[in-house]
Structure 1
Amino acid sequence: MSQYRTFTATDAVEYARQFGGLSDPASLVDAQEIGDGNLNLVFKIFDNAGQSRIIVKQALPYVRCVGESWPLTLDRARLEAETLQVHGSFCPQHTVKILHYDTDLAVMVMEDLSDHAIWRGELVKGSYFSQASRQLGEYLAQTLFHTSDFFQHPHAKKADVIRFTNPELCEMTEDLFFNDPYQVHERNAYPPELEEFVATLRDDAELKIAVAGLKHRFLSQAEALLHGDIHSGSIFVTQDSLKAIDAEFGFYGPIGFDVGTALGNLLINYCALPGLLAAREAADGREQRLTDVREVWQAFAGRFLALAAEKTRDQALAYPGYGEAFLQKVLQDTIGFCGTELIRRTVGISQVADIKKIDHQPMREECLRHAISLGKTLILAAPHVQDIDALIARIRQNG
C-alpha cells in the first residue's frame, strides 16, 4: 500500500510506455480517462497519430460513487488480472488480453478494444450481433469447465480456491444481490412510486427463503473460477467477436451464478425495450432477447457436456449421465441467480442504462415493475424448471 498512488493521465501514459509491449513506446503521447464504473480509473492511451493503442486500469481504494466512506481492497486488481489470465488461457478468443499488472500499484495494462463496442450500449440502441450469444455461451463453458473439479486436479483446485478468495468484493455481491433489495436500505435506488410494489418483496416469506438458499449456495459452493460480474456492460462485441473484461469480482463459486448473471442482463433488456424502441422494433427485439437467452444456455450446456465427455479427469464425475445431471442442477441455479440479478439491478444501487435510458417516467416505472416481477417469478420457479424451453415459457407467461 505504501507504493500506491492514484494515477494521473500523465502517469498512465508513462506506464503504458513501460509495460504496453509496443515496439514504438515513445509514440504514446496522450491519455483519456474513460472509466464510467464505480471502482476504477480507466485510461485509453493514444499515440501521436491519435490512435488508441493500450488500456491502463487502476483500482481505487474506495467505491467511486460513494466515496472514501466505502473502502475497498486493492488486491482486487490482482484478482482481476489473474482471473482474466486464467480465463484467457482456456478461452483466449473471448477474454481480454492482460499485458502486465502490478500488485502494489493495483494497475493493469491490457489490449485496447476500440474496434469493439460495449454490448449493453448496443442492446439499448436495438443493435443485433448474431454471434454474441453463442460466443458468450462458449466463454462460459470453457472457463467454468476448465476451472472446475471435472478438469482440475483436486490439489490444484483447492490451492486456487485459496488464491482467488475475494472476501471484500464477494461481500459486496452478497449485500447487493441477496440482502439490500429485500429490506429497507439506504443503498436501494428505485423510484418512490414503486414503494408499495417493492415492499411486497420484503413481505414475501417464500421468496426470502428462496433468496436465502441462493445466497447460501453463493457462499458455500466453490464449483469453478467465476468471472463474478459477467453482464452486458462487461462484454465487448463486434459482429464476429466477443471479449469479456472487468473480472475483479472473480472467485470460486457456483457455476450457475455466472450463467444466471449473464442471462439476467439480457432479460433486463427484454423488459426495458418497450421503453427504448418503437413498438414494432421493441417486439422484435424482445423476441431476439429470448432467442439470445436460449442460445447462451444451449451453447454453454452443449460445450460443457462435450468438454466433460472428452476431458473429465475424475473417475466418478466421468460416469455416463453425471454431466447431464450436474447441468440440470446448474440450470436451476442459473434461473434463481438470474432472478436475483433482475431484482438487484432494478431495486438496488447498481442501476443500468437499459432502464435509465428510458425517458418517459411512467414507462420506465412499468418496465421496472416487469423486471422485478420477472425476477421474483424466476427465483420461485427455479426448482421446478426442467429445461430451457420451460424457462422461455415462464418468461413469456410473466408478460
Structure 2
Amino acid sequence: MMIITTDNIVEYVLKNTELFTTRQLCVEDISDFNPQEEKEGFVNYIYRVYNHEKSVIVKQARPYLKYFGESYTLTPLRNLLEHETLKLRGGIVPQYTPKTFFIDKENNIFIMEDLSYLKVMRFQLNKMMYFPKFSKQIGEYLAKSNFYTSELYLDAETHRLLQASFINADMRSIMENAAFIRGAFAEIDYNTPNKRLLNVSERVWSKEEIILECYKMRDIFMKRGECLIHGDLHTSNIFIDCDRMKIIDMEYTFMGPYSFDMGYLIANFVSQFSAFTFKSNIGEEQKENYCCYLLNTIKEMYEYYVHYFNECWEKDLKEEYRSVKGYKESILDTFLSEVIGFAACANMIRLISLAGYPDYDVMEEMADKCNAQGLSIVIDQFMLLNRSKIKSIDELIHIILDIRKDYIKNTLLK
C-alpha cells in the first residue's frame, strides 16, 4: 500500500488524474485535531491540493486510526465504502453531497470536491453564527437519504444488497461501543480540574437504569437495518454558509435505524445550548437569543424531517404499503423517542472524556465549562430515562428549558 504524504502527493495526483493542467501545485495537510484552528480530525489523512485555478481534497484511509496511531488497527476498506455512499447519496441529494472525482481502491485513496468555500458548522456555532436555512436543508437531507435507501421505496432484493454491501463491521463496532458504553472508546478524564463535575458524572453512571437504557439504545442501533445511515453525523461533519450545506465523512455508513443520524446530530445542539447558557463573556440577551435559536433549530430539524418524509411517502411509497393504515404514524412515533434516546447517549458518553469536546473546550472560564457540562448531564439523563413519555418535539423543548431553569436555581457547580 502506497502511503501519500505532502512530499509525494502532487506527483500522485498528476500521475493518476487529469484534474490539473499544470504541475505547479500546493499541498496542505488538513487532518489534524486542533479545535483552535477549527479542525477535528481523528481517523484519516486528508490533504488539500490546489493551485490558483482549482483545489481538491485527497483522503487516504490507512489500516489504523490516525488519532491513536498504529496500535489501533482499522480496516482501510472504509475508504471505498465512503466513496460508494457519496456516489449513492449524490444521486439522491446532490445539493448536499460533495462531488467525487477519483477512487484508488488498491491504496484506499479517493479525491473529492474541496469545500473550503464553506465553514465547519461546529466552530461557526461556537462563534454564535446563525444559519436560517440549515433546518430545512438537514431535514430534507436526512428524510430523503433515509426513505430512498429503505425498503419503503426499494425492492426487497436491492435493499438486502445494500445491507450486504455496507456491512462495514469495523466502523460499526467503533460506534456500537463509542456511542453507548462509557469509556469504551476514549478514556475518562479522572484528572479533570473540577472534581465535583466528575462526581456528578460518576453518580449518573453508577445508576443501573442509565446503563440499561444505553444498552437498549445500543440494541436498536445494532439490529435495525432500515436505511443507509451516515453513522457519524455531528456538526464537525457539516460544511455550511448562509445558503449552502454539504455533508462529509461518511466512512461509518451502514444500514441502521432511521432515527440515529438525527439523534446523534441533535446531541450537538443540546451541548451548544448548555455551553451558551453559561458563556460569561457574552451578554445575557445575546446568550438567550442564541439558546432560543439552538432549541428552535432542534424543533425545525425534526419538523422538516417529518415534512419531507411525508412528501416522499406520498410520492414514492411502494404500492403494497399504501393500504396499511397507521403504518407511517407508527414509524414516526417510534422515530421521536429513539431520536431523543440516541441524542442523550451520544452526549453522556463524550462528557468527561480525554477525547475532548470542542463545544465546551472553547469556553474560557473553567467554572462556565463545568456548569455547562453539568447541565448537559442533567438534560441527557432525563431524556434517556423519559424518552418514551415525550410525545412531541415541542414537549422536548419545554422540558429542556424547565431543566435548565431548575439547574440554574438549584444545582450550579461551584
**Could you say whether these structures have the same fold, taking a TM-score greater than 0.5 normalized by the shorter chain as the test?**
yes
Match of 1:289 among 284, 288, 294: 294
What are the residue-to-residue correspondences of 1:13-92 with 2, within 5 Å? 13-18=10-15, 22=19, 24-26=20-22, 29-36=25-32, 37-47=41-51, 49=52, 53-92=55-94
**Cα drift, residue 177 of structure 1:** 1.2
**Cα drift, residue 197 of structure 1:** 0.9
**CA distance in structure 1 between the aligned counterparts of 2:299 and 2:332, rounded to whole angstroms:** 15
Q: Which residue of 2 aligns with 1:11?
A: 8
**TM-score (structure 1 length as normaliser):** 0.93
**Cα drift, residue 26 of structure 1:** 2.0
**CA distance in structure 2 between the aligned counterparts of 1:186 and 1:13, rounded to whole angstroms:** 35
**Cα drift, residue 359 of structure 1:** 1.5
**Cα drift, residue 239 of structure 1:** 0.9
Larger deviation, residues 339-348 vs 233-242: 339-348
SS of 2:8 mapped into structure 1 = helix
Structure 1 residues 352 and 195, CA gap change in structure 2 (3 angstroms): closer
Q: Which residue of 1 aligns with 2:203?
A: 200
Structure 1 residues 318 and 34, CA gap change in structure 2 (3 angstroms): farther
What are the residue-to-residue correspondences of 1:229-378 with 2, within 5 Å? 229-276=232-279, 278=282, 279-313=284-318, 315-316=320-321, 319-378=324-383
**CA distance in structure 1 between the aligned counterparts of 2:340 and 2:288, rounded to whole angstroms:** 23
**CA distance in structure 2 between the aligned counterparts of 1:280 and 1:357, rounded to whole angstroms:** 20
Q: Which amino acid aligns with 1:53?
A: S
Larger deviation, residues 344-353 vs 258-267: 344-353
Structure 1 residues 54 and 148, CA gap change in structure 2 (3 angstroms): same
**CA distance in structure 2 between the aligned counterparts of 1:257 and 1:313, rounded to whole angstroms:** 23
Match of 1:168 among 157, 163, 170: 170
1:385 matched to 2:387 = no
User: When the two structures are aligned, how many residues end up with a matched partner?
Assistant: 391
Match of 2:113 among 111, 120, 129: 111
Contact 2:48/2:57, CA 8 A, preserved across alignment: yes
**Cα drift, residue 201 of structure 1:** 2.6
**TM-score (structure 2 length as normaliser):** 0.90
Contact 2:31/2:45, CA 8 A, preserved across alignment: yes
Deviations 1:188-220, CA, capped at 9 Å, x for gaps? 236252221111232212222211110000110
SS of 1:165 mapped into structure 2 = coil
1:228 matched to 2:225 = no
SS of 2:103 mapped into structure 1 = strand
1:178 matched to 2:180 = yes
Q: Which amino acid aligns with 2:395?
A: A
**CA distance in structure 2 between the aligned counterparts of 1:27 and 1:53, rounded to whole angstroms:** 13
SS of 1:5 mapped into structure 2 = coil
SS of 2:25 mapped into structure 1 = strand
SS of 2:351 mapped into structure 1 = helix
Match of 2:157 among 155, 158, 162: 155
Q: Which amino acid aligns with 2:265?
A: A
Q: Which amino acid aligns with 1:364?
A: K
**CA distance in structure 2 between the aligned counterparts of 1:257 and 1:161, rounded to whole angstroms:** 16
Deviations 1:316-340, CA, capped at 9 Å, x for gaps? 3663432122111111111100111
Larger deviation, residues 78-87 vs 245-254: 78-87
Contact 2:233/2:261, CA 8 A, preserved across alignment: yes
**Cα drift, residue 19 of structure 1:** 5.3
Larger deviation, residues 130-139 vs 28-37: 28-37
Deviations 1:201-258, CA, capped at 9 Å, x for gaps? 3221222221111000011000110000111000000111000000011010111111
**Cα drift, residue 314 of structure 1:** 5.3
Contact 1:226/1:251, CA 8 A, preserved across alignment: yes
Larger deviation, residues 153-162 vs 197-206: 197-206
Structure 1 residues 133 and 351, CA gap change in structure 2 (3 angstroms): farther
**CA distance in structure 1 between the aligned counterparts of 2:207 and 2:13, rounded to whole angstroms:** 52
Among all aligned residue pairs of Structure 1 and Structure 2, give the percentage whose two residues are the same amino acid. 26
Contact 2:180/2:346, CA 8 A, preserved across alignment: no
Deviations 1:249-303, CA, capped at 9 Å, x for gaps? 1010111111101111111111111344503222111100011001111111110
Gapped regions of structure 1 (runs ≥ 5)? none
**Cα drift, residue 13 of structure 1:** 2.3
**CA distance in structure 2 between the aligned counterparts of 1:231 and 1:197, rounded to whole angstroms:** 25
SS of 2:175 mapped into structure 1 = helix
Q: Which residue of 1 aligns with 2:188?
A: 188
